[in-house]
Structure 1
Amino acid sequence: MEGYRHRIMDGLLAKKLQAKGAVLIEGPKWCGKTTTAEEIAASKVLLSRSDTKEHFKNLLQIDMDTALSGESPMLIDEWQTVPKLWDAVRYTVDHRRKMGQFILTGSAVPDKEAEEEREHSGTGRFAWLTMRPMSLFESGESNGSVSLAALFTAPEKILERNALKLQDIAFLICRGGWPMAVGLPEEVALEQAFDYYDAVTKEDITKVDGVKRASERVQRLMRAYARHQGTQVSIATLREDLKNNDTATLDDDTIISYLEALRKIFVVEDMPAWNPNLRSKTAIRTGDTRYFVDPSIATAALGIGPSDLVNDLNTMGFFFEAMCVRDLRVFAEALNGKVYHYRDKNGLECDAVVHLRNGQYGLIEIKLGGQSLINEGSVTLNALAAQIDTSRMKVPAFKMILTATGEYAYRRPEDGIYVVPIGCLKP
């Protein structure tokens, strides 16, 4: 497709299609799932169109083979709107005994009733991929001069130049990684996140399970969530925040149900806790850390823009952390890894741990920049590394401070910690 911006998902999808009969790509609306799938699909059915959906649904009931007879790989977009597709695709994959038959994309997890309609799991037939909004490397803002994969080999020296300034980072936080926003004039680009927020609160959150939810209640909850992203805030604290900032409040069960609906449409993606082997008996906090899938959702929920962030650097630090987490998740997926958060009962906290399937891991602190914050991050990283029981697990492959600003990416000679601006990082 002309003008297509290549995604990290491209290679992952091609690889999965070689190994499984069907691949399911999940992720939030507007993140580019369909566009990416169309780049490799030989035929497609777009069920987001109501007329197409009804025709396909009827055809599937009358003649399944004809409904699924498109050239392979066949893309079926928003598959979850026709739940019986799951078993039909599974049966067809079994019958044909070929890899790379189908690509299913979905911007919502099927509801409980739809799940119960399935006769079989997808084990052995399906592969799963999660797609997120664009990282800065994918959207072209990061120059990609420092590879996360290469850091796992512990290079003795790096020295790369960064072009992004604080004002650039503030804009990129608020614009988000929405493909349709990339390349647009700034004012227009910033509107995309507000449009997404409106769509979620006024329509999408009800469509996910058919439960009617008042948009103003969803908006209030998302504002509270935005104020606490990057923390392990409890449901009770969210409830109190709502009580303090709004005239009405929500009870715990309602908050839980709303958050579950937001997870089903991939608006929130919390980060699990990392549980390493430690030398001491320090208790590890196991609560998930709260994040939106893209930082622009939080800025839209709070109604703030780039200048607001630059004028409040403490707040900007939390939103910058959310953007870095988004990018690290995208990169880790390409490296067969996951991103975690560490915090113990003594208050020692590490913003991100990228843990690979092979057991390697890297410790990452996220800071806006400046020597004092870099020094603060290095103290944290060295303290955590010293607690890890290296007789029971590997030593950290690397320690890194991921920054918003700074002219260069480099390795500190005194402790080997990498200082890397986000404008230099790639998978």
Structure 2
Amino acid sequence: MREYLPRIYDPVLKRRLRAKGAVLIEGAKWCGKTTTASQIAQSSVYMQDPKTKTQNLRLAEIAPLELLAGETPRLIDEWQLAPQLWDAVRFEVDQRDDFGQFILTGSAVPADTDAISHTGTGRIARLRMRSMSLFESGDSTGAVSLGKLFEGEELPIASADSSLEAIAFLLCRGGWPRAVGLEGEAALLQANDYLDGVAQSDISRVDKKERDPRIAYALLRSYARMSASQGKATEILSDVNAQGVKAGESTVRDYLRALSQIFVIEELLAWSPNLRSKTAIRTAPTRHFSDPSIAAAALALGPGDLVADLNTFGLLFESLCVRDLRIYADALGGDVYHYRDRSGLEADAVVHLRDGRYGLVEVKLGGDSLIEQGASNLVALRDKINSEKMGAPSFLMILTATGDYSYYREDGVFVVPIRTLGV
């Protein structure tokens, strides 16, 4: 058995269990939901186990409480195979009147809601889990703590031994637990297999609606080309049709909705701060895959291809940084947004905590001129924000792919190689 790599979601799950009777872990398939839950669970039932599947499904029909009996927290894996278990869990949580009773995990494909009579509000919490960050996979030292930056601690001078080639490999490999630790082609094939599973099966299973794999592949390629942009659905439609696959706008929107439901894509919503001026903010979301390796696989790009095409590399690297920031923000009780306004001012990511603190982030592959541009952008945005109404940002940060170490600029901007960042 492979060694379990600790996840940022381990303590997050424990915190949620201390405050709710049950926790449903959601997220893309292969992101490690069941494995993480099993580290905390004191007993478990695996609904899809071939040896007991028929028996389990029968019990779910006639005596669901039998499946819920066991030491707590009890893990119920692939619960969606018997959706009636949702109501049984909700009922049992009420009867026991205690927290930390159940963990529900399963496929990214949603359960049949027709078999569910209660939302579970107040009893069952939802926890969104993501693929592994570079810190979790051991590919970042974590010497620069995002949490400590929010606490006002000084930026440490942390060394970073990285290169464009190394980052390109990590991007194409992705944060899939089964890929971490593998080398070369074996590691890179995991994202390709994931893409095939989505296009040929999962996108249809999401709501039992037959969808054309050719359209799915074309749409995934188009979406990948628009990574880290605010591309419209009509632009995706034009690109899909340009690939020789005919589809209408309603079809494109339907496929995008399905991909979102199974956590393949996750748009980055716009941040709306209080500004000193009346600058119009662009509110369209920025398009991202839940893991940047999906974009690389959709475009049939390997590490060498990215290094040869720095424009595409830069866009997909932004998605990698957004993935990691989202994971770290989850641990800190926050969310990640983007900022764009009509004047062209931007922040690729805004990490906003629920207590109101926030940090502004720009993403650059590296190089003095790009870092200078990013720093100028962040300082201009900081000065435009009405700090009397919402406070000054906790930090201004440029995340880079390359660089020998993290450092603090005279203008107050932090320059941080992504392989030094952690929670």
Match of 1:95 in 2: 95
Shift of 1:107: 3.3
Do 1:47 and 1:78's aligned partners in 2 also have CA atoms closer than 8 Å? yes
Tell me which residue corresponds to 2:59: 59
Q: Is the 8 A contact 1:194 1:300 kept in 2?
A: yes
With the length of structure 2 as denominator, give the TM-score of the two structures: 0.97
Q: Percent identity?
A: 55
Displacement after TM superposition at 1:344 (Å)? 1.0
**For the residues of structure 1 that align with 2:110 and 2:326, how far apart are their CA atoms?**
23
**1:123 matched residue in structure 2:** 121
Aligned partners of 2:260 and 2:54: how far apart in 1? 27
Q: Please say if residues 27 and 106 of structure 1, whose CA atoms lie closer than 8 Å, have aligned partners that are also in contact.
A: no
Name the residue aligned to 1:309.
306
- Aligned residue number for residue 14 of structure 1: 14
CA contact (8 A) 1:107 1:266 kept: no
State TM-score, norm by structure 1.
0.96
Post-superposition CA distance 1:133-190 (Å, at most 9, x none):
1000000010111000111133345211001211100000000000111111211101
The amino acid of 2:405's aligned partner reads Y
**Structure 1 residue 315: deviation in Å?**
0.9
CA contact under 8 A between 2:143 and 2:156: conserved in structure 1?
no
1:260-275 mapped onto 2 (5 Å cutoff): 260-275=257-272
Match of 2:391 in 1: 394
The match for 1:422 is 418
Alignment partner, residue 68 of structure 1: 68
Alignment partners' CA distance in 1, 2:72 and 2:346:
48
| 1-structure distance, mates of 2:172, 2:48 | 28
Give the letter for the 1:411 counterpart.
Y
Partner of 1:321 in structure 2?
A: 318
Matched, 1:169 2:192: no
Aligned with residue 342 of structure 1, among 339, 342, 347: 339
Paired with 2:331 and 2:377, the residues of 1 have a C-alpha distance of: 27
Deviation at 1:272, TM superposition (A): 0.7
For 1:231-270, list aligned pairs within 5 A.
231-244=229-242, 246-270=243-267
Q: Deviations over 1:237-292 (max 9, x none)?
A: 11111222x11221111111111111111101111110111111111111111110
Match status 1:359 vs 2:331? no
CA contact (8 A) 1:368 1:404 kept: yes
What CA deviation, in whole Å up to 9, does each residue of 1:198-222 have, x standing for no partner? 1111111111111111211100100
Contact persistence 1:80–1:108 (CA under 8 A): no
Post-superposition shift, 1:80?
Answer: 2.4
> Partner of 2:398: helix, strand, or coil?
strand
1:266-285 mapped onto 2 (5 Å cutoff)? 266-285=263-282
SS in 1 for 2:178: helix
The answer to whether the Cα contact below 8 Å between 2:47 and 2:57 also exists between their aligned partners in 1 is no
Contact 1:83–1:110 under 8 Å retained in 2: no
Worse-superposed segment, 173-182 or 70-79: 70-79
Task: Give the Cα–Cα distance (whole angstroms) in 1 for the partners of residues 136 and 239 of structure 2.
Answer: 36
Q: 1:78-112 CA distances to partner (integer Å, 9 max, x unpaired)?
A: 2223221111100001011121110011333536x
* Cα pair distance change 1:407/1:47, threshold 3 Å: same
Aligned-pair CA distance for 1:65: 2.0
Shift, 1:117, TM fit: 3.6
Contact 2:109 2:202 in 1 (8 A): no
Whole-angstrom CA distance in 2 between matches of 1:60 and 1:106:
16
Which residue of structure 1 lines up, in the alignment, with residue 104 of structure 2? 104
Q: Give the drift of 1:116.
A: 4.3
Q: Per-residue displacement from partner, 1:339-395 (whole Å, max 9, x unpaired)? A: 001111222121000000100000000000111110000011011111111121111
Pair 1:48–1:270, CA change in 2 (3 A): farther
Alignment of 1:116-195 (within 5 A): 116-195=114-193
3-state SS of paired residue (2:90): helix
| Counterpart amino acid of residue 144 in structure 1 | G
Aligned partners of 2:64 and 2:85 also within 8 Å: no
The alpha-carbon deviation at position 53 of structure 1 amounts to 4.4
1:29 alignment partner in structure 2 = 29
Contact 1:156 1:411 (8 Å CA) reproduced: no
- Tell me what 2:370 maps to: 373
The offset of 1:51, in angstroms, is 6.5
Deviation at 1:64, TM superposition (A): 2.3
* CA distance in structure 1 between the partners assigned to 2:51 and 2:196 by the alignment: 25
In 1, Cα distance between the equivalents of 2:29 and 2:98? 30
1:27/1:131 contact within 8 Å kept: yes
Q: Which residue of 1 aligns with 2:205?
A: 207
Q: CA deviation at 1:410?
A: 0.9
Inter-partner Cα distance in structure 2 for 1:93 and 1:105: 17
Deviation at 1:40, TM superposition (A): 1.1
State the distance in 2 between where 1:294 and 1:383 align.
Answer: 30
RMSD: 1.4
What is the deviation of 1:73? 1.2
| Kept after mapping to 2: 8 A contact 1:161/1:409 | yes
The CA distance in 2 between the partners of 1:236 and 1:52, in whole Å, is 48
Residue 227 of structure 2 aligns with an amino acid whose one-letter code is Q
In structure 1, list runs of 5 or more residues that go unmatched. Answer: none
Aligned partner letter, 2:196: D
